[in-house]
Structure 1
Amino acid sequence: MCKRQRRLAGGWAVGPGKMLQTLSDWFWWDHLWLPRNVTWADLQDTEDYEYATVSHLYVTVIYALLLIVVRYLFERLVATPLAKVMGLKEQARLKATHNPVLENVFVSVSKHPNKSQLEGLSKKCSCSIRQAERWFRRRRNQDRPSLMKKFREACWRCTFYLLAFTGGITVLIDKPWFYDTWEVWVGYPKQSLLPSQYWYYIIELSFYWSLLFSIASDVKRKDFQEQIIHHLATIILLSFSWCANYIRVGTLVMAVHDASDILLESAKMFNYAGWKSLCNSLFIVFAAVFIITRLIIFPFWIIHCTWVYPVHHYPPFFGYYFFNVMLVVLQMLHVFWAFLILRMMAKFLFSKLDGDDRSDMEECEASSEEEGMKNGTGANGRPSVNSHH
């Protein structure tokens, strides 16, 4: 029986502490994370080399909580005044009157009752079908995020992505692997961690933790599940690449993803502020940059770099396959979002409709139908731009 098998057998006998240690030994098994003939002992810090360690990542959870606090202050001290300068005006929402019967149906049965349900509810509440419809419409609107909330969120993300992308380019601009991806694997895994790479990774990973922590309170969109998958895949990918010393390619992946997000979030800001022409122009530029970075550069440069080049330096191992599978998961999300973006583009470029039907990408802002009927106007026709990484 080999040493590892003896440890596993002994773990069941001596108790949970020993078992946890055995599981830890299995999880950090050299052959899972590193190429053949390379062990963790080979990646110990020396005078010439400093390596990434898993202990570095613990601080990202603390930084994520700090980013949430910074975001709270930013949204109120910077984003809110900026929204007012840009002319964003909140629409007054009429609240649904207190009605226990309708509230119970809204919460437990359906937020969009059909005609037969409305007829039964109107009789039970001694009101007309039109009044019941109006109650459910107003009740739905109460749960929808306001334009100000959407603007604050977009402003925060736009600012972060701009700073992160600028920082990323600064980190990469003088590195040979920024121009020649073959250089990513030269000397791997014995590649020293640079201070600039450390902070680039830690800040980006902290940001994605903060997005995951706040996703329940953020604006909920129709691609909510895809966003959760994206955040988790990104966190796992960054954490694994950090521990396996895939730092160089990790920085390239982050820079590629941040490029288009700046344009998307800025387009959202102008959309919520009512600057339609500028919003549409930015969205077109965003769509072009998204396709170039996510559907061309990412698969044909980054994924090609991680699939093809490493086998020239070492035989494939579990970490090699795991890392590439995670990249493919991200690429599948890119294809999903590209389809939605192109469909959106087609609608507002070629459709003869007066308004823009991009709201199918995001839960629409509360309709102004009641106010519109009073004022003789229609509902707000602002486009609702949304997508994600």
Structure 2
Amino acid sequence: MEDLVNQWIWRQDFWLPPGVTWQDIAEGTAGSSRHPVPRDLLISLPLALSFIALRFVFERVVALPLSRQLGVRDRVRFRVTPIPKLEEFYLQTKKQPSQNEIMLLENLCGLNQRQIQNWLRHRRKQDIPSSTRKFCEASWRFVFYLIVFSAGLVSLINTPWFWDHRECWRGYPRQPVAEVQYWYYIVELSFYLSLLLCVPVDIKRKDFKEQIVHHFATIFLIAFSYCGNYVRVGTLVMLIHDSSDILLESAKMFHYAGWRKTCDILFILFATVFLVTRLVVFPCRIVYTTIVDSLEVFLPYPGYYFFNGLLLTLQVLHIFWAWLILRMIYKFVFLGKVERDERSDVESEVDEVGEEECSWERKKGVFNSKLASLSNNCVLNNLTNQRRKMNSRTPKAR
């Protein structure tokens, strides 16, 4: 089975530079504690399941009491009366019904159009995740990123490639892998696998598709960089990404708790770190060294294009998120506050829709009242003018 996997999946001519084999990597690191082997990554699957179980315990034992201590409050939402036909329609579509669908629901439920729309609007509001749930999710990610970033920084700060990125390729592919770097890889890979497995139950945000692409690109990057012994570059990529994620998740936590000033300060720090690390350090140092500096050691090969293609995919996502952050900065500077998260939950759009409906109803009422007053004024003016004409004709008749 291992020979079959190596023949069809871990093909040396695809994953490794010309003239380099898996045996070369193993022999070149024979005196070290560990050398990269593709089967080492299999341990990440049970660890990912362990992360999911640990997250379940953490959110209920640690995050939930912490949310109450920080003052997280959930909105009291109206509970709709169960109507089987409407519930079935809602679970199937979860979208705004068309006019034809509303007419069909009127015949099935015996309700008018306005009652059906109100029921569906309140039903969508019931599915909006509570602030406590969002706080627990953010706190779990914050704790993980804080621990992993701290451990990664301590393990890399004394390495030569941390300061000089050209050292990432010195002696390649015969580069030993330290035990702490191996576990750094395995823990990060297991965590992103757990995030991917939890996608169906996690809170969906407006950049849901971009997050899925990010998770897949990150998983492939970690797996490929380990198997191809790009561990030095891979550790730097993970460290850069974790640095801003800590501030993002902490800002979310204080936002859900209602600590506006603390949230604004953390948001400014997050925006600064994100823009510097993702738009300056990552493309100018990491992507540059993998595209340009690596060619001093080996010629381009299929894995070279695959690895750099994934890095450029991450960079496109960085630009997309940087645009959202700059929009929030604009609101913060010119409006005095961040009105809402540009990556807010998809379900939160329901509140906006409801507010738009209410505002439209108010505008409609005002508009109708103005039309009524205008028409009344027109009628009164006509009557007044007609009375004046009659009064002016009376003396002549007399």
Counterparts of 1:39-188 in structure 2 under 5 Å? 39-44=21-26, 47-49=30-32, 50-109=34-93, 111-113=95-97, 118=102, 121=105, 125-127=109-111, 129-188=113-172
Deviation at 1:215, TM superposition (A): 1.0
**How many angstroms apart in 2 are the aligned matches of 1:143 and 1:211?**
21
* 2:339 paired residue number: 356
Normalising by structure 1, report the TM-score. 0.84
How large is the Cα RMSD of the aligned pairs? 2.5
Deviation string for 1:164-213 (max 9, x for gaps)?
11011011011010000011100001000101101111111110010011
* 1:247 paired residue number: 231
**How many angstroms apart in 2 are the aligned matches of 1:27 and 1:267?**
42
**1:194/1:77 CA distance change after superposition, 3 Å:** same
**1:68/1:124 CA distance change after superposition, 3 Å:** closer
Percent of aligned positions that are identical: 46
Partner AA of 2:345 in structure 1: E
Partner of 1:215, secondary structure, is coil
Alignment partner of 1:198 is 2:188: no
Partner AA of 1:358 in structure 2: D
**How many angstroms apart in 2 are the aligned matches of 1:38 and 1:141?**
58
Partners of 2:138 and 2:252 within 8 A in 1: yes
Deviation at 1:22, TM superposition (A): 5.9
Alignment partner of 1:32 is 2:14: yes
Deviation at 1:27, TM superposition (A): 3.3
Partner AA of 1:294 in structure 2: R
Partner of 2:346, secondary structure, is coil
Partners of 1:101 and 1:125 within 8 A in 2: yes
Partners of 2:328 and 2:342 within 8 A in 1: no
Higher helix share: 2
**How many angstroms apart in 2 are the aligned matches of 1:125 and 1:279?**
46
**How many angstroms apart in 1 are the aligned matches of 2:248 and 2:338?**
20
* 1:6 paired residue number: none
**How many angstroms apart in 2 are the aligned matches of 1:237 and 1:205?**
9
**How many angstroms apart in 1 are the aligned matches of 2:50 and 2:94?**
38
Deviation string for 1:133-166 (max 9, x for gaps)?
3211221022221111111000000110011110
**How many angstroms apart in 2 are the aligned matches of 1:40 and 1:117?**
61
**How many angstroms apart in 2 are the aligned matches of 1:89 and 1:116?**
39
Deviation at 1:223, TM superposition (A): 1.2
Deviation at 1:25, TM superposition (A): 1.4
Counterparts of 1:213-232 in structure 2 under 5 Å? 213-232=197-216
Partners of 1:264 and 1:283 within 8 A in 2: yes
Alignment partner of 1:303 is 2:287: yes
Partner AA of 1:363 in structure 2: V
Deviation at 1:83, TM superposition (A): 0.2
In structure 2, stretches of 5+ residues that fail to align are 359-398
* Bigger radius of gyration: 2
* 1:13 paired residue number: none
* 1:235 paired residue number: 219
Q: Which shifted more, 95-104 or 79-88?
A: 95-104
**How many angstroms apart in 2 are the aligned matches of 1:300 and 1:173?**
20
Deviation string for 1:295-348 (max 9, x for gaps)?
110000000010111111222222212111110011111111111121222234
**How many angstroms apart in 2 are the aligned matches of 1:163 and 1:355?**
29
**How many angstroms apart in 2 are the aligned matches of 1:196 and 1:22?**
30
Alignment length, in residue pairs? 352
Partner of 1:165, secondary structure, is helix
**1:132/1:316 CA distance change after superposition, 3 Å:** same
Deviation at 1:275, TM superposition (A): 1.2
**1:57/1:85 CA distance change after superposition, 3 Å:** same
Deviation at 1:131, TM superposition (A): 3.3
* 2:384 paired residue number: none
Q: Which shifted more, 78-87 or 32-41?
A: 32-41
Partner AA of 2:228 in structure 1: A
**How many angstroms apart in 1 are the aligned matches of 2:186 and 2:91?**
41
**1:115/1:347 CA distance change after superposition, 3 Å:** farther
**1:35/1:108 CA distance change after superposition, 3 Å:** closer
Partner of 1:44, secondary structure, is helix
Deviation at 1:101, TM superposition (A): 2.9
**How many angstroms apart in 2 are the aligned matches of 1:52 and 1:22?**
19
Partner of 1:278, secondary structure, is helix
Normalising by structure 2, report the TM-score. 0.82
